[in-house]
Structure 1
Amino acid sequence: MFASLLSLALVALPLVSAAAAPKPGIILIGDSTVATGAGWGPGFCKDTTGLATCTDLAVSGTTVISWQHQPTEYNAFLKACTVPNTFATIQFGHNDQKIYNTTVYGANLNTFAKLVKAKGCTPVIITSLARRNFKSAHVPDDILEPYAQEAISVANALKLTYLDLHQASLTYITKLGSTLSYEFNLDGTDHTHLDPMGQAYFGRMVADLLIAKLPTLKSFIVPNATMTKAEANGTL
């Protein structure tokens, strides 16, 4: 009789533990290509469901270093990371490449990713969104590409998940061509930042890249088969 009761109790324990597991949360850290108003962040958060939070803490014009001196966003990050099962995506590069070489950028990113982990969040490094600057049928990526590769190197060194948004977005806009790609431009002539349609498309791209690397988050992403297929095929 006692053995039977003990067996039932042991079977029940994992169910109690699973029920008590906190819902995941996601905070987005980065520059203007992630931020509300001009980046993919709002589109990504619209594609989520059931998360504890999806909060865009990106700040326009920031680097890995200068973002940490934004008191409102930095304090929100610290608070969010006290909540278990919170992921923090980190995407910089657009402004860093104007100030730092890749070695300094990589060192800064390495230090910050370690800080994010130490504060309790799970860091996810994202490479920079490609600029839609066409020359003929091709987009030259010689400026951002080395920084994207440095970000991947940092992620590998720290054994962190990374999403290669730079390559994915570059592949997509190359398939689209300049005319269709420029429909994502903010204010018509801004080839870096995103209008609402661009926010939706590249937010979806990040969502798909995320669940490919972290399938445990799949149930928290609203599927959009039409947009996912369009991005794979290079169409709108």
Structure 2
Amino acid sequence: MKKIPTFKLLIFIGSIAFSNMLYAQTYSFDFSTKPAAQSKAVKTDAIYSAETGFGFENGAQISTTSNGISSAKPFLFSVAVPEGNYRVKLMLGDDDGESETTVKAETRRLMLEKIKTRKGERIEKSFIVNVRRPGIAGGGEVKLKQRETGEEQFTWDDKLTLEFNGPRSSVDVISIERVENVPTLYLLGDSTVTDQPGEPYASWGQMLPRFFSAEISVANYAQSGESLASSKTARRLDKVLSLVKPDDYVLIQFGHNDMKAVDVATYKNNLKTYTAALAEKHVQVVLVTQVQRHTFEGMTITNSHKGYPDAVREVAKEENLPLIDLHAMSKVFYEALGPEKSLLAFKPGDGTHHNAYGAYELARCIVEGVRQSKLPLKKFILAQPESFDPAKPDVPESFFMPASPAIVSIKKPDGS
């Protein structure tokens, strides 16, 4: 078969150096045995180092194919890049057989789901990955938790990391280009929103990129255990404020931890502090009510969040802000499954934190909330899957998401 033309991997030089490594302006990563002359050949034993600035993370088990690489086990490939948004283009497929590839980025953000190719077929896919650093323009930095430099190491490091997964994932070429002219969808919230670092935990925030086109970036600044007050103290809000542009969006979902620390009136005032600060940046804020816990009485979910969801609804009404009522939608979702089967949406033994299935369905709730709104954001929603009714969720027993590799020991998320 004719060799597919190699893409160029464009990485723009920044002022930040990482372990004395210089960022090259142009890379071309070709995984085949006969790379084009202008390409950078990547061998299967190319382990990432600060000196090379690219390579596979430890543990990769990869086979060379006629046109690229393939594996029946998940593997990670990293590239050193400065902070920013990057359009990633992948040429997927294999001359030697069928392939099925799921791609996650950074800390298990779902970007592509089960992309299948026939023998000899090629498919080009693209998406935007947000890469960030703790530093804040103007001085200072985000106060990271210990978990954010441990099991969540890929969230704040100096690399863009891609995870290739599936029964037989195959990739020929990776192209990455820094982009400045795309809107960003920022997320602020707690453990039910954050990019969870390890199985079986997952959040709706880390599933969200899969449902949006390659014309928008999703930047998840949520963190386990956070409340509106603690997230602000950690300067996560300051970090977002330093980056947002008028065409960006910010989704805010707090409450699980706030209700254990402050009363409803204080919570409401804290939320208004966020909306006021973001309004000064002329960014579109979308408020999200708290996702329900698994609190059944008989066949009905009871409201464990008391008056906090209503506080969010009130702020949305008072400030004329879009609202996604995830509290209401998740109640419908859980009750549609029933008390026992709905447990299949959660990490076993945990009535707050979700697994991949639960996170995926809740992300679909969020997407449906956007779709039904008047937000320009909805133009970035992918055509497939189509509209979602939480009263008719996907069958949990039929759901499958390839598990990410265990990089480090995973702890229970903070908060409950």
* 1:80 aligns to 2:243 (yes or no): yes
**Unaligned residue ranges in structure 2 (runs of 5+):** 1-180, 197-201, 396-416
* 1:64 aligns to 2:228 (yes or no): yes
User: Structure 1 or 2: larger strand share?
Assistant: 2
Q: What percentage of residue pairs aligned between the two structures are identical?
A: 26
Aligned equivalents of 2:284, 2:378: Cα separation in 1: 17
- Which amino acid is 1:129 matched to? V
Asked whether the 8 Å contact 2:209–2:218 carries over to 1, the reply is yes
Asked whether the 8 Å contact 2:336–2:391 carries over to 1, the reply is no
Asked whether the 8 Å contact 2:287–2:322 carries over to 1, the reply is yes
Asked whether the 8 Å contact 1:145–1:166 carries over to 2, the reply is no
Aligned equivalents of 1:213, 1:227: Cα separation in 2: 13
1:145–1:227: structure 2 CA closer, same or farther, 3 Å change rule?
farther
Asked whether the 8 Å contact 1:48–1:221 carries over to 2, the reply is yes
Distance apart, 1:44 and its partner CA: 1.3
Aligned equivalents of 1:33, 1:223: Cα separation in 2: 26
Cα deviation digits, residues 94-144 of structure 1 (max 9, x gap): 001111111111111112111122134221110000111222211111x31
Asked whether the 8 Å contact 1:80–1:86 carries over to 2, the reply is no
- Which amino acid is 2:343 matched to? Y
1:70–1:95: structure 2 CA closer, same or farther, 3 Å change rule?
same
Asked whether the 8 Å contact 2:361–2:394 carries over to 1, the reply is no
CA RMSD of aligned residues (A): 1.9
Cα deviation digits, residues 143-166 of structure 1 (max 9, x gap): 314111110101111111111110
Structure with the greater alpha carbon radius of gyration: 2
Number of aligned residue pairs: 210
- Output the TM-score relative to the length of structure 1: 0.82
**In structure 2, what is the equivalent of residue 197 of structure 1?**
357
Q: Matched residue of 1:194: which SS? A: coil
- Output the TM-score relative to the length of structure 2: 0.48
1:202–1:224: structure 2 CA closer, same or farther, 3 Å change rule?
farther
1:217–1:227: structure 2 CA closer, same or farther, 3 Å change rule?
closer
Aligned equivalents of 1:214, 1:131: Cα separation in 2: 29
Pick from 173, 180, 194 the counterpart of residue 35 of structure 1: 194
**Unaligned residue ranges in structure 1 (runs of 5+):** 1-21
- Which amino acid is 1:33 matched to? T
Aligned equivalents of 1:106, 1:75: Cα separation in 2: 19
**In structure 1, what is the equivalent of residue 289 of structure 2?**
127
Q: How does 1:133-172 map to 2 (within 5 A)?
A: 133-141=295-303, 143-172=304-333
